[in-house]
Amino acid sequence: MRLLPREIETFWTLFTGPAIWAGHFLICYASAAIFCAKPALLGMEFNSLRLGIAFVTVVALVAIALSAFLAWRQWGFGAHDPPHDDPTRHDRLLFQGFATLLLAGLSFVAVLMTALPVIFVSECLR
Amino acid sequence: MTVPGPRASDEERAAQSERLRKVWENPRGWRYWTSVNNTQVGLWYASTAFIFLLFAGALALIMRAQLAWPDSDLVSADFYNQLFTLHGTVMMFLFAVPIFEAVAIFLLPPMIGARELPFPRLGAFGFWSFFLGGIFVCGSIFFDAAPSSGWFMYPPLATDEKLSGIGADIWLLGLSFIEVASIAAAVELIVGIMKCRAPGMRINLMPLFAWYLLIVAGMILFAFPPLIAGDILFEMQRMFDWPFFDPARGGDPLLWQHLFWIFGHPEVYIIFLPAIALLAMIVPTFSRRPIVGYSWIVLAAVGTGFLSFGLWVHHMFATGLPQISLAFFSAASEAVAIPTAVQIFVFIATMLAGRVILSTPMLFGAGGIAIFVIGGLTGVMVAIAPFDWQAHDTYFVVAHLHYVLIGGMLFPVAAGIYYYYPLIDAKRLSDTLGRIAFWLMFVGFNVTFFPMHLTGLLGMPRRVFTYPADLGWNFLNLVSSVGAYVFAFGVLIVVWDVLRPKHREPRAEQNPWNAGTLEWISEPEENWGVRSVPFVSSRYPLWEQPTLAREISEGRWYLPDAKEGRREGLVTSVLDARPEQVLRVGGTSKVTIVSAFSLGAVFIALTFKWWIAGAIAAFTCFCAILYWLWTGTAEIPEKPEKDVGVGLALPLYASGPSSVGWWAMFITMVGDSTAFASLIFGYFFYWTIHEDFTASSAGPGMMWPLVSAALFVFAWLATLAARHFNALERTAFVRAALIMALALTAVASAAGIAGPWLHAMNPTAHVYPAIVWVLVCWTVVHAAVGAAMIAYCLARSLAGRLTKTHDMDLRNVALYWHFLAITALITFFVIGLFPEAL
């Protein structure tokens, strides 16, 4: 059994990192909104919400890191320099890998920034 | 390596040119307006958008005249409300978004080496929708009936018929109609960029403009539908008193704010990215080198596109949401500065690495970026909630948004006008006038809007029609007003430069700026786009493939002829642009105008509650679209293949995922699903704000919704069965399955309605029955469309136009039904099961 998925050739892998960011953002927003609107629903405390968001954040970061690794592999582990503008399938793959890697970096930072408030905010505070 | 074909003889080439010219030529006389060619539609689109810009600018000048002195009574308070509402509405909906669609329709095909976009008639339909809707909305002010509740139409003010009058209906229905045009443009652009690039133009070679537009079109699909969903709820309240935003009956005005800003914030980037895309074409040309950091621009475009959806609540910082929620949106609002900065640094790096020519377009571009950066910095300030609470609803925000929009959009568009004008009529605009206009606009802009930061910090609220003399705002307001007129004078010089007669001037060179991208080989005198569709093997083909322009104009590449007298283009693969199919696109037609105007008539009739007229218009529109589809789509070609030149033969027909029609259906349904998701969001939103969501009133029960869901699944399976039998050439079974699907759809819809109907849910009593009814109606209307599609396939089959190989209609309908099945399942599970789970 192989540990890493095989390389797939499609347009859509480009959006992996941002899509994970979007999922993480939605979970943070929806869970906090529901928790603050209906605190009695699950009988949880705010700290449980913070822990939950921390857990989701770690999962999202690991997923982005994994997608970054796959992108790095598609980019040939950095063995070739941009601009990747040759009219070949090889250069097109390198371009996709590099752009995906950059987006994974941005998504990683953005997920961290989204999660930061739960370190500092300790109640719903209306 | 693909090499061009041999040169044909002079007579042969002349004959080819003549045939091509005839196929692509415009009709004459009044029929000129039935043209669907991207060049004409793009120009009409842009001209109309500019007229709306000047109109909205004139409204702004009246406002600045009113505000120049304290206690002024130049205009009344109510008229002032109409002025600022219409100014914002027109600038956002009738200028900023349409101008991007216009530029895209005009420039994109030549830029990606295509003859046309894949759905020219859809483009024309979008233009006529925009034209009519725009005139309707703008015209209202001459009848003192313009919307007056601000461009974001907050309830409860805007839902109160006494306070807002008919203006709010004009806003809602007029703009819903224009949103249809935007979604049409998004479909056209996504399919165009993904499937119609010139052969060889792999995604790593695509012009950056195309990358930006692809992202923007994708954003439209997710940003506009929530507003359409909001419009539906809003209009149901105004027309039929369903209490979605009325707190007395369980509604909540905040839901409108959510839906509006889920649209409204990405909208800012939908406006900004295409303008920056123009700069991404202009900067390399005048830096005399390829862009530095192509992949980084892709990062910036995609990153901004996604992050811009996590910002909407920063317009709602002052509404009392939990601070933990505000903090998430604050964080995302800060994060979006990263990709935005990346694209600006890429431009600076390109300029540093090249030899910059400070031409007029560059002047506008650089000035725009300087202004935009200031707006971006104040944006980071207002992204911080505590600062925003101070600045909220003051002139500080007015200053911020104008710095962002005018710097990020209007100046780059002016740069684009000066840069691309030679493509329109083979003349150049005046450098002298351009420079004078730039400095007037640049200075005038800053004199107008910079003082507004200060008036805002001094506490002047936005949208007041006058102010007392003793608050210390007098001088700053006077300065702003003077600046506004200087700015307007600059804009007028640009207008004059564009309109002044130029017939005595010599023809400009084909590529006056010596640019590297393909749009510069298109000849303004010819309507065919490119003489032959080239094979592209670099990012800047005119720089790096020096013989290409000549080979193209000698007709040595693909499709140099139009022997069958049809408008043709190539469909290529998504990643590597391998040629896959010859696409025959629709030509000149009146059906686009009839469809757009009858659809417009539906919206106008609804505004004035002329029900019968509305029904007649809707029927006309339905017939027009049916005629359009039957005569103009899924055409069966006279032969399976065609020789396209350069030793290549390609099929003339494709269906399923390799056809552009399938993609268009898929993309449309993604947008449609977003609107549906917004309604579902509304359902759960009401659940969160109430202790008892159902207000102890009756629900639709469990049985009927579940029966309906099951029947919809069976109808979907029957549609799939029809597709399956069609592939086996069992025509009788195909027809039987289609009839079965029709019957099941009817029964399923009846069962869906039975739930709320038999439990006597009254939608005007409380928001709970109202939101249930809206979800059921949404599903049933979609089922009716699904049924019409099935009936259409049945008719095609009976007419002998649905066969094993020519099955595009049926496959597209099956795709629609995948989405419909999901919609029905979600609707009926949510309304049937969720109340039971509580």
Q: How confident is the model over A35-77, as pLDDT tens digits?
A: 999 887 777 888 999 999 999 999 999 999 999 999 999 998 8
Please state, in angstroms and rounded to a whole number, the distance separating the CA atoms of residues B437 and B687: 55
In this prediction, residue A20 has a pLDDT band, given cuts at 50, 70 and 90, of: very high
**Cβ contact (<8 Å) for A126 and B298?**
no
Examine residue B637 and state whether it is found in any structural domain, yes or no.
Answer: no
Count of CB atoms situated within 10 Å of the CB of B612: 8
Chain-chain contact of B575 with A92 (C-beta, under 8 angstroms):
yes
- Find, among B362, B338, B343, the residue nearest to B294 by Cα: B343
Rounded to two decimals, the ipTM of the complex is 0.95
The predicted structure's pLDDT at residue B526:
87
Cβ contacts of residue B6 below 8 Å, gap of 6+?
B556
Residue B189 Cα to chain centre, angstroms: 9
> Across the A/B interface, how many CB contacts are shorter than 8 Å?
138
In degrees, rounded to 5, the angle at the alpha carbon of residue B285 between the alpha carbons of residues B284 and B286 is: 95
CA atoms of B114 and B583, how far apart (whole Å) = 11
Q: C-alpha distances in angstroms, B481 versus B62, B104, B457, B460?
A: 10, 34, 18, 15
Q: Tell me the C-alpha distance between B413 and B678, whole Å.
A: 33
Is residue B569 a part of any domain in this protein? no
Distance CA B205, CA B536 (A): 8
Query: Nearest C-alpha of chain B: how many angstroms from A59?
Result: 18
Question: Does residue B293 sit at the A interface (CB-CB below 8 Å)?
Answer: yes
Cross-strand pairs, B394: B461
Res B616: pLDDT: 97
> CA of B477: how far to CAs of A20, A35, B466, B485, B602, in Å?
47, 46, 11, 13, 43
Each as own residue / partner, the long-range contacts of residues A52-56 (CB below 8 Å, 24 or more positions apart, any chain) are A53/A27, A53/A28, A53/A115, A53/A118, A54/A115, A54/A118, A56/A24, A56/A27, A56/A28
Using alpha carbons only, what angle is made at residue B818 by residues B817 and B824, rounded to the nearest 5 degrees? 80
DSSP H stretches of helix in B651-702: 660-689
Task: State the nearest Cα–Cα gap between B371 and chain A, in angstroms.
Answer: 25
Do the Cβ atoms of B572 and B199 come closer than 8 Å? Answer: yes
CA nearest A86 in B: which residue?
Answer: B538
Chain A touched by B349 (CB under 8 Å):
no
Which residue does chain A place closest to B688, by CA atoms?
A: A37
Give, for B648, the enclosing helix (H) or strand (E): strand B648-651
Closest to A100 measured CA to CA, from B296, B306, B309: B296
Task: Write down the pTM of the prediction.
Answer: 0.95
Q: Which residues of A touch B340 (CB under 8 A)?
A: none
Beta bridge partners of B643: B649
A98–B295 CB contact, under 8 Å: yes
- Quote the minimal CA–CA distance from B648 to chain A in Å: 19
Instruction: Please state, in angstroms and rounded to a whole number, the distance separating the CA atoms of residues B747 and B683.
Output: 25
Q: At what angle do helices B431-457 and B360-382 cross, to 10 degrees?
A: 10
* B201: nearest CA partner in chain A: A87
**Length of chain B in terms of residues written:** 838
**In angstroms, how far is CA B67 from the centroid of its own chain?**
34
Rounded to an integer, what distance in angstroms lies between the CA atom of residue B579 and that of residue B654? Answer: 13
Q: Do A92 and B320 touch (CB under 8 A)?
A: no
Instruction: Give B736's contacts (C-beta < 8 A, 6+ positions apart).
Output: none
Tell whether the model's pLDDT for residue A1 goes beyond 70.
no
Query: What local confidence, expressed as pLDDT, does residue A61 receive?
Result: 97
Q: Contact at 8 Å (CB) between B413 and B99?
A: yes
Q: Which amino acid, residue B668?
A: T
Q: For residue B126, what is the enclosing H or E element?
A: helix B120-139
Q: What is the pLDDT of residue B6?
A: 87
Q: Is residue B524 part of a domain?
A: no
Assess B838–A contact: CB distance below 8 Å, yes or no: no
The span from the CA of B365 to the CA of B277, in Å, is 11
- B31 DSSP assignment: G
Residue at B589 is within a domain:
no
Is B353 near chain A, with CB under 8 Å?
A: no
Q: Is B325 on the interface with A (CB under 8 A)?
A: yes
Indicate whether B694 belongs to any domain: yes
Which of these three, B455, B476, B499, is where a domain ends?
Answer: B499
Classify strands B641-645 and B568-572 as parallel, antiparallel or unpaired: unpaired
Query: Does residue B385 sit within a domain?
Result: yes
Task: Report the interhelical angle of B120-139 vs B77-89 (nearest 10°).
Answer: 170
Chain B residues in contact with A94 (beta carbon < 8 A): 204
Residue pLDDT, tens place only, B707-764? 999 999 999 999 999 999 999 999 999 999 999 999 999 999 999 999 999 999 999 9
Give the integer Cα–Cα distance in Å for B416 and B209: 12
Domain count, chain B: 2
Cα A35 from Cα A54, distance rounded (Å): 15
SS3 call for B394: strand
Residues 6+ apart with CB under 8 A from B384: B330
Residue B825 and residue B833: Cα distance in Å, rounded? 11
Residue in chain A nearest B292 by alpha carbon: A83
d(CA A107, CA B592): 43
Taking a C-beta distance cutoff of 8 angstroms, is the pair B74, B490 a contact? no
- What is the residue type of B274? P
Nearest to B575 among A9, A85, A106 (CB): A9
> Distances from the Cα of B827 to the Cαs of B703, B783, B837, in angstroms?
14, 12, 15
Give CA B142 to chain center in angstroms.
Answer: 28
B650 in helix, strand or coil? strand
Interchain CB distance below 8 Å, A103 and B321: no
The Cα-based distances of B468 to B72, B91, B398 in angstroms read 9, 29, 20
Quick one: DSSP state of residue B9?
P
CA dist., res. B456 & res. B477, Å (int): 11
Structure tokens that stand for B729 in this block = 């050439």
Closest residue in B to A22 (Cα–Cα): B306
Q: How far apart are CA B637 and CA B624, in angstroms?
A: 23
> Looking at beta carbons, which residues of chain B come within 8 Å of A9?
575
Instruction: Report the alpha-carbon distance of residue B713 to residue B718 in Å, rounded.
Output: 9
Tokens found for residue A28: 């943070």
Position A21 pLDDT exceeds 60: yes
Query: Are A49 and A32 within 8 A, CB to CB?
Result: yes
What string of H, E and C letters represents the secondary structure of B693-743? CCCCCCCCCCHHHHHHHHHHHHHHHHHHHHHHHHHCCCHHHHHHHHHHHHH
Residue B337 has a pLDDT of: 92
What CATH number should be reported for the domain holding residue B819?
1.20.120.80
Identify which of B516, B567, B565, B517 has the alpha carbon closest to the alpha carbon of residue B116. Answer: B567
Crossing angle of helices B38-67 and B77-89, in 10° steps, is 150
The last residue of one of the domains, among B443, B478, B499, is B499
- Decide if B742 contacts B791 (C-beta within 8 A): yes
Chain B residue whose CA is closest to A17:
B303
CA distances B416 to B25, B429, B499, Å, are 27, 12, 16
User: What DSSP assignment string belongs to B606-640?
Assistant: HHTT-HHHHHHHHHHHHHHHHHHHHHHSSPPPSSS
**Domain holding B340: CATH number?**
1.20.210.10
B648 within domain boundaries: no
Cα B755–Cα B756–Cα B761 angle in degrees, nearest 5: 150
Contact A113 B536 (CB under 8 A): no
Residue B181 belongs to a domain: yes
Report the half-sphere exposure of A40 (CA within 13 A, side-chain side): 4
Q: How far is CA B337 from the centre of its chain?
A: 24
pLDDT under 70 in chain B at which residues?
A: 1
| Listed residues B466, B499, B532: the one ending a domain | B499
Q: Which residue type occupies B755? A: G
Per the structure, the complete domain to which residue B810 belongs is given by 658-837
What is the C-alpha radius of gyration for chain B, rounded to an integer number of angstroms?
A: 27
Count of residues making up chain A: 126
